[in-house]
C-alpha cells in the first residue's frame, strides 16, 4: 500500500466514522447532501486543549435535513428534525437522551458534530466552552470531540487490528493492547490463549467475522484510546490551568447489540474511563441511564422533559416514567 493509499483510507475511515453516527444509510444520503461544505466563517482555531471543560449550550435551535446550505428556512414540506432546542449541559455532566423512535435523539448528537446544521436563523446558537460551534472547522471539531456510533466502521479486510484501532498511529502497541483488554476483546479475539494464541495486534482484522456486539466493543476501545492519547498529549503541552482529563464524549446507542451483562460492563468502563468528561448518550435501555445526572426526553424533535432520572421515574405523570413503564413491559416479556 502506498502512502497515498494509506492516507485515503485514513480519510475514508474518519469520514465514515463520522457519518456512521445513527443509521448509516440515512446518513449516507445526508452526508451526500451536505458535504463538501462551505468553510466560510469557520475562522476560529481553538486552543489545542479545547474543549477544556466541556460545557455545552444550545439556545433555541431548530434543524431540518431538508435545508440546503444557504437556504433561509425549511419549506413546509421539509419537516423539522429538531424544534427550538434549548439545552445547557454543565462541564462534566452526564446526560442521557431518551425518547421514542424518530424523536430526534441521534439528530441532537449530529448537531453537536456539525453533521446536521441548524437553520440559518439560529446557526450561531450553539457554543462549547463559550466558542460558537459554527466558527470551528468541522474536521477540527470532530477530532476534538470523541464520538462513538451505533454502527462502527472498519478499514478494509486485511488491515491490522492495530491500524483499525488507531489509524493515525498515535499510540503504542502496549496502549492498544491495554484498551482491548479493558473491553475484554484481547483474550477473546486478538490473542485467545485457549486457541494457542491469536494473530496479535499486527494480525488482520476481518470485520465480517465480528459480531455486531464485538464491533461495538471495538468501537468503545477506540474511544478509550483516543481519551488516553488526548490525556497524555495534554499533560505534555498544557500551559493553562485545567483538568488533563476532561472533554466531550458523545455516544449513540453504543451497546444496542450486546447482552445486558455486557452492556452493564460497558457502562462501568465508560463511567470509569470518562469520569471527568461531559457525556451525552442516546439510549433506549433506560435501566442503564438511571445513574446519569440527567435525562432529556425527546418527542417529535422537541425536548419535552428533563431532570434527574430517579426523580422523574417517581413522578406520577412524567414522560420518562411512561417510557420506563413501556420498558418494564418489554423487559418482563424478554
Ligand X SMILES: Nc1ncnc2c1ncn2[C@@H]1O[C@H](COP(=O)(O)OP(=O)(O)OP(=O)(O)O)[C@@H](O)[C@H]1O
Residues that bind ligand X (CB under 6 A): 22, 26-27, 29-30, 65, 81, 99, 101-107
Q: How far is the CB of 117 from ligand X (least distance, A)?
A: 12
Q: Is the CB of 27 or the CB of 133 nearer to ligand X?
A: 27
Q: Is the CB of 103 or the CB of 318 nearer to ligand X?
A: 103
Q: Is the CB of 99 or the CB of 247 nearer to ligand X?
A: 99
Q: Is the CB of 99 or the CB of 152 nearer to ligand X?
A: 99
Q: How far is the CB of 21 from ligand X (least distance, A)?
A: 10
| DSSP alpha helix (H) spans, the chain | 3-19, 24-34, 105-112, 138-144, 161-165, 173-182, 212-237, 260-273, 309-314, 319-333
- Strand 302-307 vs strand 278-282: parallel, antiparallel, or unpaired? unpaired
Residues comprising the chain, all counted: 334
Angle at 234 between CA 229 and CA 236, to 5 degrees: 105
Q: Which residues, 6 or more positions from 204, have their beta carbon under 8 angstroms from its beta carbon?
A: 157, 158, 159, 160, 161
Residues 306 and 297: beta-carbon distance below 8 Å: yes
Q: How far is the CB of 118 from ligand X (least distance, A)?
A: 14
Q: How far is the CB of 44 from ligand X (least distance, A)?
A: 27
Q: How far is the CB of 10 from ligand X (least distance, A)?
A: 25
What backbone phi and psi angles, to 5 degrees, belong to 114? 60, 35
Q: How far is the CB of 200 from ligand X (least distance, A)?
A: 36
Q: Is the CB of 155 or the CB of 282 nearer to ligand X?
A: 282
Q: Is the CB of 110 or the CB of 146 nearer to ligand X?
A: 110
Closest CA relative to residue 222, chosen from 144, 143, 165: 165
Residues 179 and 228: beta-carbon distance below 8 Å: yes
Amino acid at each position: 500500500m502506498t502512502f497515498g493509499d494509506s492516507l485515503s483510507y485514513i480519510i475514508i475511515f474518519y469520514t465514515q466514522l463520522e457519518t456512521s453516527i445513527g443509521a448509516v444509510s440515512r446518513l449516507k444520503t445526508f452526508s451526500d447532501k451536505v458535504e463538501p461544505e462551505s468553510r466560510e466563517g469557520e475562522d476560529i482555531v481553538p486552543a489545542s486543549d479545547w474543549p477544556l471543560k466541556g460545557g455545552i449550550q444550545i439556545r433555541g435551535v431548530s434543524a431540518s435535513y431538508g435545508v440546503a446550505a444557504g437556504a433561509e428556512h425549511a419549506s413546509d414540506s421539509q419537516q423539522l428534525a429538531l424544534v427550538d432546542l434549548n439545552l445547557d449541559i454543565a462541564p462534566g455532566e452526564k446526560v442521557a437522551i431518551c425518547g421514542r423512535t424518530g424523536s430526534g435523539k441521534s439528530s441532537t448528537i449530529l448537531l453537536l458534530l456539525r453533521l446536521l446544521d441548524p437553520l440559518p436563523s439560529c446557526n450561531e446558537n450553539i457554543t462549547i466552552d463559550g466558542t460558537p460551534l459554527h466558527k470551528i472547522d468541522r474536521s477540527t471539531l470532530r477530532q476534538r470531540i470523541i464520538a462513538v456510533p451505533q454502527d462502527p466502521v472498519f478499514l478494509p479486510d486485511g488491515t491490522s487490528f492495530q491500524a483499525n484501532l488507531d489509524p493515525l498511529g498515535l499510540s503504542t502497541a502496549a496502549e492498544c493492547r491495554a484498551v482491548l483488554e479493558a473491553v475484554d476483546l484481547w483474550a477473546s479475539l486478538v490473542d485467545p490463549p485457549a486457541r494457542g494464541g491469536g494473530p496479535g495486534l499486527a494480525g488482520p482484522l476481518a470485520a465480517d467475522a465480528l459480531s455486531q456486539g464485538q464491533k461495538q466493543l471495538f468501537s468503545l476501545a477506540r474511544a478509550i484510546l483516543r481519551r488516553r492519547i488526548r490525556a497524555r498529549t495534554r499533560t505534555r503541552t498544557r500551559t493553562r490551568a485545567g483538568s488533563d482529563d476532561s472533554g466531550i464524549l458523545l455516544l449513540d446507542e453504543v451497546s444496542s447489540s450486546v447482552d445486558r451483562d455486557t452492556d452493564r460492563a460497558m457502562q462501568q468502563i465508560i463511567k470509569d474511563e470518562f469520569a471527568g468528561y461531559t457525556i451525552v448518550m442516546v439510549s433506549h435501555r433506560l435501566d442503564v441511564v438511571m445513574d446519569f445526572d440527567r435525562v432529556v426526553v425527546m418527542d417529535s424533535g422537541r425536548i419535552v422533559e428533563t431532570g434527574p432520572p430517579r426523580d422523574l421515574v417517581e413522578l406520577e405523570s412524567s414522560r420518562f416514567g411512561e417510557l420506563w413503564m413501556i420498558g418494564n413491559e418489554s423487559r418482563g416479556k424478554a
